[in-house]
Amino acid sequence: MTLSPGASLRSRELESVTGPAVPVPSPDALVHLQFRRFAGCPVCNLHLRSIVARHEEIRAAGIREVVVFHSPAGLLREHVAELPFAVVADPGKRLYREFGVESAKRSLLHPRAWWPVLRSLARSTALLLRGRAKAPSFFPEGGRWGLPADFLISPDGRVLAAKYGEHVYDQWSVDELLALAERR
């Protein structure tokens, strides 16, 4: 089951591993709900760096970032403590199922994933060698084959836009997210 624009979501509070619980939907902001892979995922980290770099611009557009990983909270906390937005642990993949977010071998095997995978591995290796990052688990809980997904959710709980990734690096760019928020 996938969610399409126009779908209504029930209100909930998601427990953030980095701070207080976050309401989804948010009564005073759009929510960009991102589904990523596992704690320390090099490709996920590459994309999240672009979100961090423009976080103030995203906030100024009235968007609250919420990122979900299928890793346990304790492990996830070690990798995301410095991120300026809510990060949610979903090791049982309950939210993944509810939102129709899948896993597939094409996540890493798709030709469009190859360059981002190489870039992310080079960046992660450099950070590991400098002692500025922790290595991800060799066998991450929930597996390595996760696909990303993005949802833009209005304060009244309507899904304004949805993207189900075809490969590991197929998610909205910051520019795409801002354009979607502007059209609401």
Q: What is the pLDDT of residues 28-69, one digit of tens each?
A: 999 999 999 888 778 788 889 899 999 999 999 999 999 999
Q: What is the pLDDT of residue 101?
A: 95
110/156 Cα distance (integer angstroms): 36
Sign, CA dihedral 43-100-30-24, equals negative
User: For the chain, which domains are there?
Assistant: 12-183 (3.40.30.10)
The confidence score (pLDDT) of residue 4 equals: 95
Residue 21: name the closest of 80, 75, 66 by CA.
Answer: 66
Q: What is the per-residue pLDDT for 78?
A: 84
Residue for token pair 């993949």: 93
pTM of the model: 0.86
Distance between CA atoms of 36 and 32, rounded to whole angstroms?
12
First CA to last CA distance, the chain: 24
| pLDDT of the residue at 139 | 62
Give mean pLDDT in consecutive 10-residue pieces for the chain, a chain of 184 residues.
Answer: 94 95 97 91 85 97 97 90 94 95 72 67 66 63 79 98 91 97 90
Q: What angle do CA 30, 151, 144 make, to 5 degrees?
A: 135
Show Cβ contacts of residue 176 under 8 Å, excluding neighbours closer than 6 positions. none
Q: What is the pLDDT of residue 79?
A: 84
Distance CA 80, CA 113 (A): 23
pLDDT at 64: 98
The confidence score (pLDDT) of residue 107 equals: 66
